[in-house]
Chains A and B, each alone.
Chain A
Amino acid sequence: MENTITRIAPRAAKVLGGLALALMAGIAAAADDMPATAAAPAAPTTQAGILAAKLAPDRAHKMVNKWCSACHGYNGISIAPTFPVLAGQNAEYIVQELKYFHNLTQDDRAVTHESMFEQWIINITGLRRDYRYDDAPRNEPRAWDFMKGVARDLDEPTMQALADYFAKQPPVAGRPADTGDAAKGKALYLEGDADRGLIACQSCHGPDGKGQGPIPRLAGQHADYVSLQLKYIQSGIRNVEQMQALITNLNETDFANLAAYVQSLN
Chain B
Amino acid sequence: MTLTRVARWLALSLAAGAAWIGLSAPAQAIPVFARQTGHNCQACHISYPELTAYGREFKLNGYTFGEAQNVPLAIALMGEYAKIGDNTNHATGGTICANCSEASFVQWSLFYGGRITENIGVFGQASSGGFPLDTGGSCCNGLASDNTEVRYVHRFSSGVSTLEDDTVVGLLINNNASMQDVWHSAPAWRFPWFPYNGTNLGPAASTFIEGGPNGVGGIQAHRLVGLGGYTWYRKNWYAELTLYRRPWGGPFSIFDYGSGALDAVSKPSDSIVGWSPYYRLAYSKDWGYNSLELGLFGMNGKTYYDAVVRDSTQVQTFRDVALDAQFQFNRNEPWIYSVAGSWIHESNDLSPLVGAGQASQPSHTLNEFNIKGTAYYDRTYGATLAYYQINGTSDNILYGLNNPAGGGSATGSPNSAYWMLELNYVPIQDMRFSLNYQAYTKINGGKSNFDGVGNNASGQNLLQFAIWWVY
Closest Cβ of chain A to B291, distance in Å, is 8
Decide: A115 and B21 in contact? CB cutoff 8 A: yes
Question: Chain B residues near A115 (CB, 8 Å)?
Answer: 20-21, 24-25, 27
List the interface of chain B (C-beta within 8 A of A): 17, 20-21, 24-30, 34-35, 37-40, 42-43, 53-54, 57-58, 61, 64-67, 71, 73-75, 118, 155, 157, 160-166, 286-289, 330-333, 379, 428-429, 471
Q: Which residue of A lies closest to B18 (CB)?
A: A117
CB of A75 closer than 8 Å to a CB of B: yes
How many A residues have CB within 8 A of the partner chain?
47
Question: Chain B residues near A236 (CB, 8 Å)?
Answer: none
**Within the complex, which residue of A82, A130, A135 is in contact with B38, where a contact is CB–CB below 8 Å?**
A130
**Within the complex, which residue of A80, A141, A146, A169 is in contact with B288, where a contact is CB–CB below 8 Å?**
A80
Decide: B29 and A129 in contact? CB cutoff 8 A: yes
Decide: A145 and B162 in contact? CB cutoff 8 A: no
* Cα-based distance from A163 to B157 in the complex (angstroms): 20
Q: Which residue of A lies closest to B42 (CB)?
A: A145
Decide: B155 and A65 in contact? CB cutoff 8 A: yes
CB of A134 closer than 8 Å to a CB of B: yes
Q: A115-B25, A118-B21 are in contact. Are A141 and B164 (CB under 8 A)?
A: no
Decide: B67 and A153 in contact? CB cutoff 8 A: yes
CB of A113 closer than 8 Å to a CB of B: yes
Name the residue among A71, A74, A125, A228 with the largest chain B CB count within 10 angstroms.
A74
Could you list 8 examples of A-B contacts with CB < 8 Å? A74-B157, A79-B287, A81-B288, A121-B471, A131-B34, A132-B26, A133-B428, A168-B162
Q: 1/0 per position for A66-82, CB-CB distance to B under 8 A?
A: 11011100110001111
Decide: A133 and B28 in contact? CB cutoff 8 A: yes
Decide: B66 and A70 in contact? CB cutoff 8 A: no
Q: 1/0 per position for A15-53, CB-CB distance to B under 8 A?
A: 000000000000000000000000000000000000000
CB of A64 closer than 8 Å to a CB of B: yes
Return the 4 tightest CB-CB contacts between A and B, nearest first. Answer: A149-B38, A134-B26, A115-B24, A70-B57
Closest Cβ of chain A to B77, distance in Å, is 11
Q: A69-B166, A80-B286, A115-B20 are in contact. Are A131 and B27 (CB under 8 A)?
A: no
Decide: A81 and B471 in contact? CB cutoff 8 A: no
**Within the complex, which residue of B24, B28, B54 is in contact with A117, where a contact is CB–CB below 8 Å?**
B24
Within 8 A of B (CB), among A125-156: 125-127, 129-135, 139, 141, 144-146, 148-150, 152-153
Q: A66-B155, A114-B25, A145-B42 are in contact. Are A80 and B53 (CB under 8 A)?
A: yes
**Within the complex, which residue of B28, B54, B163, B289 is in contact with A131, where a contact is CB–CB below 8 Å?**
B28
What does DSSP make chain A's interface, helix, strand, loop or mixed? Answer: helix
CB of A105 closer than 8 Å to a CB of B: yes
* Cα-based distance from A132 to B65 in the complex (angstroms): 20
Closest Cβ of chain A to B37, distance in Å, is 5
Question: Chain A residues near B39 (CB, 8 Å)?
Answer: 145-146, 149
Decide: A146 and B73 in contact? CB cutoff 8 A: no
CB of A61 closer than 8 Å to a CB of B: yes
Decide: B289 and A82 in contact? CB cutoff 8 A: yes
**Within the complex, which residue of B43, B67, B71 is in contact with A145, where a contact is CB–CB below 8 Å?**
B43
**Within the complex, which residue of B20, B28, B71, B155 is in contact with A127, where a contact is CB–CB below 8 Å?**
B71
Question: Chain A residues near B38 (CB, 8 Å)?
Answer: 105, 130-131, 148-150, 152
Decide: B162 and A129 in contact? CB cutoff 8 A: no
* Cα-based distance from A131 to B28 in the complex (angstroms): 6
Q: A144-B40, A146-B39 are in contact. Are A65 and B25 (CB under 8 A)?
A: no
* Cα-based distance from A113 to B28 in the complex (angstroms): 11
Question: Chain A residues near B162 (CB, 8 Å)?
Answer: 74-75, 168-169
Decide: B65 and A67 in contact? CB cutoff 8 A: yes
**Within the complex, which residue of B27, B65, B66, B155 is in contact with A118, where a contact is CB–CB below 8 Å?**
B27
Question: Chain B residues near A132 (CB, 8 Å)?
Answer: 26-28
Q: Which residue of B lies closest to A64 (CB)?
A: B163
**Within the complex, which residue of A64, A71, A169 is in contact with B54, where a contact is CB–CB below 8 Å?**
A71
Decide: A126 and B27 in contact? CB cutoff 8 A: no
* Cα-based distance from A149 to B57 in the complex (angstroms): 16
Further pairs besides A134-B28, A145-B43: 13, Cβ < 8 Å:
A66-B65, A70-B61, A71-B54, A71-B57, A74-B166, A79-B286, A82-B331, A82-B332, A105-B38, A114-B27, A115-B27, A125-B73, A134-B27
Question: Chain B residues near A74 (CB, 8 Å)?
Answer: 157, 162-166
Question: Chain A residues near B24 (CB, 8 Å)?
Answer: 115-117
Closest Cβ of chain B to A58, distance in Å, is 10
**Within the complex, which residue of B20, B43, B71, B429 is in contact with A146, where a contact is CB–CB below 8 Å?**
B43
* Cα-based distance from A69 to B232 in the complex (angstroms): 14
**Within the complex, which residue of A70, A121, A224 is in contact with B58, where a contact is CB–CB below 8 Å?**
A70
Question: Chain A residues near B330 (CB, 8 Å)?
Answer: 80, 82
* Cα-based distance from A114 to B21 in the complex (angstroms): 9
Decide: A70 and B27 in contact? CB cutoff 8 A: no
Decide: A129 and B287 in contact? CB cutoff 8 A: no
Closest Cβ of chain B to A80, distance in Å, is 6
Q: Which residue of A lies closest to B66 (CB)?
A: A149
Question: Chain A residues near B286 (CB, 8 Å)?
Answer: 79-80
